[in-house]
Structure 1
Amino acid sequence: MGLHRVPVSSLPSSWQGIKDRLPQSGDSTYIFFVVDDDASTGKPWCPDVREALPVVEKYFEKRGDLEVAVVSVGSRSVWKDPGNIWRTSWGLRAVPTLVKYTGTGAEGDGVVQSQLVEEETKDEDKLRAFTQQDTSAP
Protein backbone atom coordinates (compact mmCIF):
# COMPACT_ATOMS: atom_id res chain seq x y z
CA MET A 1 0.00 0.00 0.00
CA GLY A 2 1.07 3.61 -0.30
CA LEU A 3 2.38 5.49 -3.32
CA HIS A 4 3.13 3.91 -6.68
CA ARG A 5 4.95 5.86 -9.38
CA VAL A 6 3.38 5.26 -12.79
CA PRO A 7 5.57 6.15 -15.79
CA VAL A 8 3.61 8.38 -18.18
CA SER A 9 4.92 6.51 -21.20
CA SER A 10 3.33 3.31 -19.91
CA LEU A 11 -0.16 4.76 -19.41
CA PRO A 12 -2.85 3.80 -21.91
CA SER A 13 -4.75 6.68 -23.50
CA SER A 14 -8.26 5.78 -22.31
CA TRP A 15 -9.58 6.26 -18.78
CA GLN A 16 -10.67 2.61 -18.56
CA GLY A 17 -7.23 1.46 -19.64
CA ILE A 18 -5.65 3.65 -16.99
CA LYS A 19 -8.18 2.70 -14.31
CA ASP A 20 -7.51 -0.99 -14.87
CA ARG A 21 -3.78 -0.49 -14.26
CA LEU A 22 -3.86 1.84 -11.27
CA PRO A 23 -4.11 0.90 -7.61
CA GLN A 24 -7.70 0.82 -6.40
CA SER A 25 -8.81 1.81 -2.92
CA GLY A 26 -12.28 0.38 -2.58
CA ASP A 27 -14.49 2.13 -5.11
CA SER A 28 -12.06 5.00 -5.52
CA THR A 29 -8.97 5.53 -7.64
CA TYR A 30 -6.47 8.06 -6.28
CA ILE A 31 -4.01 9.79 -8.60
CA PHE A 32 -1.45 12.30 -7.36
CA PHE A 33 -0.31 14.47 -10.27
CA VAL A 34 3.22 15.79 -9.81
CA VAL A 35 6.08 16.97 -12.08
CA ASP A 36 9.31 15.48 -13.39
CA ASP A 37 12.49 15.81 -11.40
CA ASP A 38 14.89 18.54 -12.48
CA ALA A 39 17.95 16.89 -14.04
CA SER A 40 20.37 19.20 -12.21
CA THR A 41 18.92 18.72 -8.71
CA GLY A 42 17.21 15.32 -8.85
CA LYS A 43 14.18 16.91 -7.18
CA PRO A 44 10.83 18.01 -8.61
CA TRP A 45 11.21 21.30 -10.49
CA CYS A 46 8.03 22.70 -8.90
CA PRO A 47 8.52 23.95 -5.31
CA ASP A 48 4.93 23.06 -4.36
CA VAL A 49 5.47 19.47 -5.50
CA ARG A 50 8.78 19.32 -3.59
CA GLU A 51 6.91 20.31 -0.42
CA ALA A 52 3.77 18.23 -0.95
CA LEU A 53 5.26 14.93 -2.10
CA PRO A 54 6.77 13.90 1.26
CA VAL A 55 3.58 14.92 3.10
CA VAL A 56 1.34 12.87 0.80
CA GLU A 57 3.77 9.95 0.78
CA LYS A 58 3.99 9.89 4.59
CA TYR A 59 0.21 10.17 4.96
CA PHE A 60 -0.61 7.27 2.63
CA GLU A 61 2.16 5.08 4.06
CA LYS A 62 0.98 5.77 7.62
CA ARG A 63 -2.60 5.17 6.60
CA GLY A 64 -1.70 1.81 5.08
CA ASP A 65 -5.11 0.86 3.70
CA LEU A 66 -5.24 3.13 0.63
CA GLU A 67 -3.07 3.35 -2.44
CA VAL A 68 -2.34 6.29 -4.68
CA ALA A 69 -0.74 6.36 -8.12
CA VAL A 70 1.82 9.11 -8.67
CA VAL A 71 1.78 10.40 -12.25
CA SER A 72 4.11 13.07 -13.58
CA VAL A 73 2.68 15.72 -15.91
CA GLY A 74 6.15 16.33 -17.34
CA SER A 75 9.04 18.73 -17.33
CA ARG A 76 8.50 22.46 -16.83
CA SER A 77 8.27 23.11 -20.59
CA VAL A 78 5.93 20.16 -21.17
CA TRP A 79 3.61 21.17 -18.30
CA LYS A 80 3.55 24.85 -19.31
CA ASP A 81 2.45 23.94 -22.87
CA PRO A 82 -1.29 24.80 -23.13
CA GLY A 83 -1.72 21.65 -25.25
CA ASN A 84 -0.38 19.35 -22.51
CA ILE A 85 -2.60 16.25 -22.43
CA TRP A 86 -3.02 16.52 -18.65
CA ARG A 87 -4.44 20.04 -19.13
CA THR A 88 -6.58 19.30 -22.19
CA SER A 89 -7.87 15.79 -21.56
CA TRP A 90 -7.66 15.53 -17.79
CA GLY A 91 -8.61 19.10 -16.84
CA LEU A 92 -5.62 19.75 -14.58
CA ARG A 93 -4.99 23.41 -13.87
CA ALA A 94 -2.24 23.19 -11.27
CA VAL A 95 0.25 20.82 -9.70
CA PRO A 96 0.43 19.18 -7.33
CA THR A 97 -3.13 17.86 -7.54
CA LEU A 98 -4.50 14.81 -5.73
CA VAL A 99 -7.67 13.51 -7.38
CA LYS A 100 -10.17 10.92 -6.19
CA TYR A 101 -11.95 9.26 -9.10
CA THR A 102 -15.07 7.18 -8.55
CA GLY A 103 -16.37 5.10 -11.40
CA THR A 104 -16.59 5.85 -15.09
CA GLY A 105 -18.86 8.48 -16.64
CA ALA A 106 -21.13 8.23 -19.68
CA GLU A 107 -18.33 9.47 -21.96
CA GLY A 108 -16.00 6.77 -20.64
CA ASP A 109 -14.00 9.28 -18.60
CA GLY A 110 -13.15 9.01 -14.93
CA VAL A 111 -15.60 10.72 -12.61
CA VAL A 112 -13.85 13.20 -10.32
CA GLN A 113 -15.39 12.95 -6.86
CA SER A 114 -13.06 15.45 -5.24
CA GLN A 115 -9.58 16.89 -5.41
CA LEU A 116 -6.95 18.68 -3.39
CA VAL A 117 -4.88 21.28 -5.25
CA GLU A 118 -1.51 22.87 -4.49
CA GLU A 119 -1.37 24.05 -0.84
CA GLU A 120 -4.22 21.69 0.14
CA THR A 121 -2.03 18.66 -0.64
CA LYS A 122 0.44 19.74 2.06
CA ASP A 123 -2.18 19.70 4.84
CA GLU A 124 -2.52 16.37 6.66
CA ASP A 125 -5.92 17.34 8.11
CA LYS A 126 -7.21 17.97 4.58
CA LEU A 127 -5.73 14.66 3.40
CA ARG A 128 -7.50 12.89 6.27
CA ALA A 129 -10.85 14.52 5.43
CA PHE A 130 -10.29 13.82 1.73
CA THR A 131 -9.85 10.08 2.32
CA GLN A 132 -12.22 9.73 5.31
CA GLN A 133 -15.20 8.22 3.50
CA ASP A 134 -13.32 5.31 1.89
CA THR A 135 -12.52 3.53 5.18
CA SER A 136 -11.84 4.45 8.77
CA ALA A 137 -8.93 6.84 8.81
CA PRO A 138 -6.40 6.42 11.62
Structure 2
Amino acid sequence: MPLFETPYPQLLSSISSPSSDQPVYLIFYSDPDPSTGKLWCPDCRDVQEPVKAFFSAPESPKGIVFWVGQRPEWRSPENPARVRWNVHNVPTILKLMEGKEVGRLVEGEILEKGRLAEFTKA
Protein backbone atom coordinates (compact mmCIF):
# COMPACT_ATOMS: atom_id res chain seq x y z
CA MET A 1 0.00 0.00 0.00
CA PRO A 2 1.41 3.41 -0.80
CA LEU A 3 2.18 6.06 1.76
CA PHE A 4 -0.07 9.04 1.12
CA GLU A 5 2.00 12.12 1.84
CA THR A 6 -0.75 14.55 0.97
CA PRO A 7 -3.82 13.97 3.12
CA TYR A 8 -6.45 14.61 0.48
CA PRO A 9 -9.88 15.34 1.98
CA GLN A 10 -11.28 12.08 0.61
CA LEU A 11 -8.47 10.11 2.28
CA LEU A 12 -9.08 11.80 5.60
CA SER A 13 -12.81 11.20 5.29
CA SER A 14 -12.16 7.55 4.43
CA ILE A 15 -10.49 6.91 7.78
CA SER A 16 -13.79 7.36 9.57
CA SER A 17 -15.63 5.01 7.26
CA PRO A 18 -17.18 2.17 9.27
CA SER A 19 -17.04 -0.09 6.20
CA SER A 20 -13.30 -0.77 6.42
CA ASP A 21 -12.06 -3.64 8.55
CA GLN A 22 -8.42 -2.66 7.94
CA PRO A 23 -6.58 -0.19 10.16
CA VAL A 24 -5.39 3.13 8.80
CA TYR A 25 -2.31 4.87 10.17
CA LEU A 26 -2.07 8.65 10.55
CA ILE A 27 1.54 9.80 10.64
CA PHE A 28 2.00 13.25 12.18
CA TYR A 29 5.05 15.19 11.01
CA SER A 30 6.22 18.77 11.11
CA ASP A 31 6.00 20.64 7.82
CA PRO A 32 9.16 21.05 5.75
CA ASP A 33 11.03 24.27 6.45
CA PRO A 34 10.52 26.49 3.37
CA SER A 35 14.16 27.60 3.35
CA THR A 36 15.74 24.12 3.56
CA GLY A 37 13.03 21.72 2.40
CA LYS A 38 13.76 19.56 5.47
CA LEU A 39 11.28 18.90 8.24
CA TRP A 40 11.86 21.48 10.98
CA CYS A 41 11.47 18.80 13.70
CA PRO A 42 14.69 16.76 14.16
CA ASP A 43 12.78 13.76 15.55
CA CYS A 44 10.57 13.79 12.45
CA ARG A 45 13.64 13.84 10.22
CA ASP A 46 15.03 10.83 12.12
CA VAL A 47 11.97 8.66 11.46
CA GLN A 48 10.97 9.97 8.03
CA GLU A 49 12.96 7.54 5.86
CA PRO A 50 12.31 4.38 7.91
CA VAL A 51 8.59 5.18 8.09
CA LYS A 52 8.43 5.95 4.37
CA ALA A 53 10.19 2.69 3.52
CA PHE A 54 7.94 0.70 5.84
CA PHE A 55 4.63 2.12 4.59
CA SER A 56 5.69 2.06 0.92
CA ALA A 57 6.20 -1.71 0.85
CA PRO A 58 3.51 -3.56 -1.17
CA GLU A 59 2.23 -5.53 1.84
CA SER A 60 2.11 -2.51 4.17
CA PRO A 61 -1.09 -0.99 5.52
CA LYS A 62 -2.38 2.43 4.45
CA GLY A 63 -0.39 5.30 5.95
CA ILE A 64 -1.47 8.93 5.63
CA VAL A 65 0.89 11.78 6.53
CA PHE A 66 -0.74 14.59 8.48
CA TRP A 67 1.42 17.72 8.35
CA VAL A 68 1.06 19.71 11.60
CA GLY A 69 2.43 22.97 10.22
CA GLN A 70 5.43 25.16 10.83
CA ARG A 71 6.65 25.63 14.40
CA PRO A 72 4.31 28.57 15.26
CA GLU A 73 1.27 26.70 13.88
CA TRP A 74 2.26 23.54 15.74
CA ARG A 75 2.59 25.38 19.05
CA SER A 76 -0.92 26.79 18.79
CA PRO A 77 -3.44 25.13 21.12
CA GLU A 78 -5.85 25.37 18.17
CA ASN A 79 -3.70 23.21 15.89
CA PRO A 80 -5.99 20.60 14.25
CA ALA A 81 -3.66 17.75 15.25
CA ARG A 82 -3.95 18.80 18.88
CA VAL A 83 -7.69 19.48 18.78
CA ARG A 84 -8.97 16.59 16.67
CA TRP A 85 -6.40 13.88 17.41
CA ASN A 86 -4.94 14.86 20.81
CA VAL A 87 -1.41 14.79 19.37
CA HIS A 88 1.10 16.72 21.48
CA ASN A 89 4.39 15.36 20.13
CA VAL A 90 5.74 14.88 16.64
CA PRO A 91 6.37 12.46 15.18
CA THR A 92 3.36 10.43 16.25
CA ILE A 93 1.65 7.53 14.48
CA LEU A 94 -1.97 6.74 15.29
CA LYS A 95 -3.57 3.40 14.49
CA LEU A 96 -7.23 3.90 13.61
CA MET A 97 -10.03 1.40 13.20
CA GLU A 98 -13.33 2.76 11.89
CA GLY A 99 -12.03 6.26 12.61
CA LYS A 100 -11.27 5.58 16.27
CA GLU A 101 -7.80 5.46 17.79
CA VAL A 102 -6.76 1.99 18.92
CA GLY A 103 -3.02 2.61 19.33
CA ARG A 104 -0.26 5.19 19.24
CA LEU A 105 3.51 5.35 18.79
CA VAL A 106 5.27 8.56 19.79
CA GLU A 107 8.72 9.90 18.89
CA GLY A 108 11.50 7.39 19.72
CA GLU A 109 9.09 4.47 20.03
CA ILE A 110 8.80 4.54 16.24
CA LEU A 111 12.48 3.65 15.81
CA GLU A 112 12.62 0.92 18.48
CA LYS A 113 13.62 -2.32 16.74
CA GLY A 114 10.55 -4.22 15.57
CA ARG A 115 8.10 -1.87 17.28
CA LEU A 116 6.57 -0.41 14.09
CA ALA A 117 6.10 -3.85 12.53
CA GLU A 118 4.47 -5.17 15.72
CA PHE A 119 2.30 -2.04 16.00
CA THR A 120 0.97 -2.43 12.47
CA LYS A 121 -0.08 -6.06 12.78
CA ALA A 122 -3.84 -6.17 12.31
TM-score (structure 2 length as normaliser): 0.85
SS across alignment from 2:85: coil
Structure 2: 5+ residue runs without aligned partners?
none
- Following the alignment from structure 1 to structure 2, what is the Cα–Cα distance between the partners of residues 69 and 130? 16
Partner of 1:3: 3
Aligned residues: 120
Structure 1: 5+ residue runs without aligned partners?
104-109
Partner of 1:106: none
Of 107, 118, 132 in structure 1, the residue corresponding to residue 107 of structure 2 is 118
Shift of 1:65: 3.4
> Do the aligned residues in 2 keep the contact of 1:98 with 1:116 (CA within 8 Å)?
yes
Of 38, 41, 44 in structure 1, the residue corresponding to residue 36 of structure 2 is 41
Of 115, 118, 121 in structure 2, the residue corresponding to residue 129 of structure 1 is 118
Shift of 1:59: 1.5
TM-score (structure 1 length as normaliser): 0.76
- Following the alignment from structure 1 to structure 2, what is the Cα–Cα distance between the partners of residues 19 and 47? 29
> Do the aligned residues in 2 keep the contact of 1:19 with 1:29 (CA within 8 Å)?
no
Shift of 1:21: 6.8
Matches within 5 A, 1:82-97: 82-97=77-92
> Do the aligned residues in 2 keep the contact of 1:28 with 1:101 (CA within 8 Å)?
yes
Partner of 2:70: 75
Q: Are residue 51 (structure 1) and residue 25 (structure 2) matched?
A: no
- Residues 3-24 of structure 1 show CA distances to partners (whole Å, capped at 9, x for unaligned) of 11124xx537xxxx823279xx
Partner of 2:14: 20
Partner of 1:107: none
**Structure 1: 4+ residue segments shifted above 3 A:** none
Greater RCO, CA 8 A, separation 6+ = 2
Aligned CA distance change for structure 1 residues 122 and 60 (closer, same or farther; 3 Å): same
SS across alignment from 1:6: coil
